[in-house]
Amino acid sequence: MLRNKLLDSLKLIVFLIAFYTFSQLYYTSNFNFKEDLELITGEASNLPANWVGSKDVDKNIPILILAGHADSQGLAGAGTPGEAVDKFGLNPMHPGISDELFWNLKLQESIVKLGRKKGLNISSYDPGIRNIDDANDPRTNWSVGKRFSKLGGYAIEIHFDAYGKYGVGSGLIPPFSEQPNKIDESIARTFGRFPVLFRGGLGAPRRQIRVLEIGKLEGLLEKNLRNVKTRNKTIKLLATEIVQAFLNGII
C-alpha cells in the first residue's frame, strides 16, 4: 500500500517536471508579438512628451512612407552607421550608403507591400539621387512629403536611431503645427513618443512630416537585421507592427 502511494507520488513528480519543462519550451518559443517587438526595438524615448493624438482620420487617407536620409548621403545627415560598423568595425551593409539608410529602404518596401495587402491607401517615394544638397529641392523627401501633407495625406519618414548614448530610442515625433491624429496616437502607443519640439523642431516635422524612430541601430535589433537567418523575419515583424498601428488608428 505504502509502496503504491510512493509510486503514485513519484509519477506525479515526474509528470510535473515534464509538464514544467514543456511549458517553458513552449513559452520561450512562442513569445507573443508585442513582447518580441519590445525585446527587439529596445528602449523607447523617455523624453517628456505630453501630446495626445485624438483627431479622427479618414479610413482612406493616403499614406506616404519615406526612408530617412535617402537624399542626404553626403557629409552631413547621412544617418547612423550603426553600432556594428562604428563600434565593432564590421563592414557596412552596402558601400556608399549608411547602414541606417540600407535598413530604412528595406523596411520602407516591406511596409508598403504589407500595407497594400491590408487595404491601406499606401505608397512610397524614393528620390533615387542619394545626395541632394538643398533640402528644399523639389525632389527631396521633405519637399515631396510636405506637398503630400498639404493635400491632406499622412507622410511619415522612418529612421533607426543612433546607438548608445548618441541616440534616444524608439518613438514618434509628431508634426510641428498640425494637431496629432489617431494614427499618431496609435504609433506612439506601440513605439513611444518624442516631444513635438524635439531638437528645436526638426526639418521633417516642420514640414508636417512625421518621424518614426524604430529603435537604436545596436544590440539585438541590429544583430537580427544583419543575420541573414533572421533578417526577413525581423523586417516583417517591424513592418507588421507599423501597418497594424495604421489600421488601429483609422478604424
**Binding stretches for Zn ion (CB under 5 A):** 68, 79, 159
The residue among 79 and 250 lying less far from Zn ion, judged by its C-beta, is 79
Amino acid making up residue 160: F
Least distance to Zn ion from the beta carbon of 101, Å? 8
Q: Which three cell numbers stand for residue 29?
A: 518559443
Q: Half-sphere exposure of 224 toward its Cβ, with a 13 Å CA cutoff? A: 19
Amino acid making up residue 154: Y
Q: Which three cell numbers stand for residue 149?
A: 501633407
Q: Say if residues 42 and 218 touch (Cβ distance below 8 Å).
A: yes
- d(C-alpha 227, C-alpha 164), whole Å: 20
Least distance to Zn ion from the beta carbon of 247, Å? 25
Least distance to Zn ion from the beta carbon of 31, Å? 28
The residue among 80 and 143 lying less far from Zn ion, judged by its C-beta, is 80
DSSP-H helix ranges across the chain: 2-29, 33-41, 82-86, 99-117, 141-150, 182-191, 203-206, 219-226, 231-250
Least distance to Zn ion from the beta carbon of 154, Å? 19
Residue of this chain nearest to Zn ion (CB atom)? 159
The residue among 79 and 82 lying less far from Zn ion, judged by its C-beta, is 79
The residue among 120 and 167 lying less far from Zn ion, judged by its C-beta, is 167
| Count of positions (residues) in the chain | 251
The residue among 167 and 180 lying less far from Zn ion, judged by its C-beta, is 167
CA 33 to chain centre: 14
